[in-house]
Structure 1
Amino acid sequence: MNRQLTWSSLPYSSSSSSSSSSPSSSSPGGPTAHAAAHARDIESAFRLFVTPAIERVVLDMTNLEGARRYGDAWAGMDETDLRAYTGLLILAGAYKSRGEAAASLWDAESGRAVFCATMPLKLFHLFSRMLRFDDRATRAERRVADKLAAVCRV
């Protein structure tokens, strides 16, 4: 079987003749049975990826980092903030904004209104700097026993 890479400026077409020889063509595409049974709306579909337990870890560790860096000035991130932040990241990907400066997404003339309506750019940047999955202060000692200590809880 020839495993040569072929580069193209056109998007991949699943109807091409080469798709019939790929190993993944034997399995059907689409959602798994579990996803189909549990994704009833946007939120439940999102929960298949980001569970409440993961959300709690991210919120706890992000707020810990924010309190360390900003003290009483840190207002904290709550569930709504985290979901809004994550939603904006997903939207940026859906808009194919890779490599685009975040400021351009919030630009009054050329940006997209949903970004400004969701949160100010400064708050988005602040959340980007503070977002954590673990306690940075204890990571080194936990890494001795577990190389994936930074992400093991999520």
Structure 2
Amino acid sequence: TSDEEPPRRRAKREQQLKQSEIKIFTARSGRQWTTEEPPKRKILQANILRQQNGIGRAATGVQTIREAFQLLMTQDMVILIVRETNRRAHLITEQWNNRNPGKENQWKETDSDEIWAFIGLLILAGVHRAKNETLDELWSMIDERLVFRATMAKNRFKILLRFCRFDNIATRDERLKQDKLAPVRDLWAMFLAQLRACYTPGGSLTVDEQLIPTRGRCNFRQYIPSKPGKYGLKIFWCCDSDTVYPLNGEVYLGR
């Protein structure tokens, strides 16, 4: 019986039995994961995190809401939007003029000030929960909507909405072969860099998913019935566990 086994042999047999119950999983990348708990060792001094989570160096000295907003939506991002929006508008205008000689149009170039105003109006429309309203309703004479009229003409807003771009359309097809997020990749990378620059994380991080609801055309839009929006873009976020501040994000682009 097992009671009559020598202690060393019994310990060896129990170890073999335990190992037979361990499951090993292999990821697509080739990395292997096991259900066995790793052996506990003394933590090396180099691996002990002593820094406190909190505001990063880039965010110190912020005094106003505008300054805080421009930490994450920077002037460099706006310059990118200005450049690519003008590029797209000039291309479409040139194509129109070639097809309609004698009825030539001229594109009035946008600039940083106008794009900042454009972004502000988009945010304000969200504040008013106006996703189902027409531009005519937003540009109405209702007191709380007069800011739209005061900022820019409705037709100018409409044409900016049409031409707004975040990448060079001339090279997009080639980049799309390698990256489905190519139309916004540069802007997304700049945004993530600012997230990391503005915050110092603690030693506890977590990864979770978020579904950004959208019904727009997108070949990597996801359907998750358990989420309130059901259809949208799925983003995996790495966040500070204490404050839920996002440090890095990866948009799920499908298989």
Alignment TM-score > 0.5, same fold: yes
- 2:125 maps to 92
**Structure 1 counterpart SS, 2:129:** coil
For the pair 1:104 / 2:137, whether they are aligned, the reply is yes
| Matches of 2:87 and 2:79, distance apart in 1 | 12
| Matches of 1:36 and 1:99, distance apart in 2 | 36
Query: Deviation string for 1:25-73 (max 9, x for gaps)?
Result: xxxxxxx624863532233122122112211111110010011112461
**Structure 1 counterpart SS, 2:73:** coil
- Which moved further from structure 2: 56-65 or 33-42? 33-42
| Matches of 1:122 and 1:76, distance apart in 2 | 15
- 1:59 maps to 82
- The aligned amino acid for 1:67 is H
The sequence identity of aligned pairs, in percent, is: 35
Q: Which structure is larger by alpha-carbon Rg, 1 or 2?
A: 2
More helix by share: 1
| Matches of 2:142 and 2:124, distance apart in 1 | 18
More strand by share: 2
Matches within 5 A, 1:9-88: 33-34=55-56, 37-71=60-94, 73-88=106-121
| Matches of 2:143 and 2:134, distance apart in 1 | 12
CA contact (8 A) 1:105 1:115 kept: yes
CA contact (8 A) 2:59 2:71 kept: no
TM-score by length of structure 2 reads 0.45
CA contact (8 A) 1:106 1:121 kept: yes
CA contact (8 A) 1:105 1:111 kept: no
- The aligned amino acid for 1:43 is R
1:102 deviation in Å? 1.6
| Matches of 1:137 and 1:117, distance apart in 2 | 35
**Structure 1 counterpart SS, 2:175:** helix
State the structure with bigger RCO (CA 8 A, min sep 6), 1 or 2.
1
Q: What stretches of structure 2 of length at least 5 have no aligned partner?
A: 1-53, 95-104, 188-255
Q: What stretches of structure 1 of length at least 5 have no aligned partner?
A: 1-31
TM-score by length of structure 1 reads 0.71
Q: 2:182 aligns with which of 131, 149, 153?
A: 149
- The aligned amino acid for 1:65 is R
- The aligned amino acid for 1:51 is T
1:137 deviation in Å? 2.1
| Matches of 1:104 and 1:137, distance apart in 2 | 35
| Matches of 1:74 and 1:39, distance apart in 2 | 37
| Matches of 2:174 and 2:59, distance apart in 1 | 41
- The aligned amino acid for 1:33 is I
C-alpha spacing 1:36/1:53, structure 2 compared with 1 (3 Å)? closer
1:79 deviation in Å? 0.7
CA contact (8 A) 1:57 1:133 kept: yes
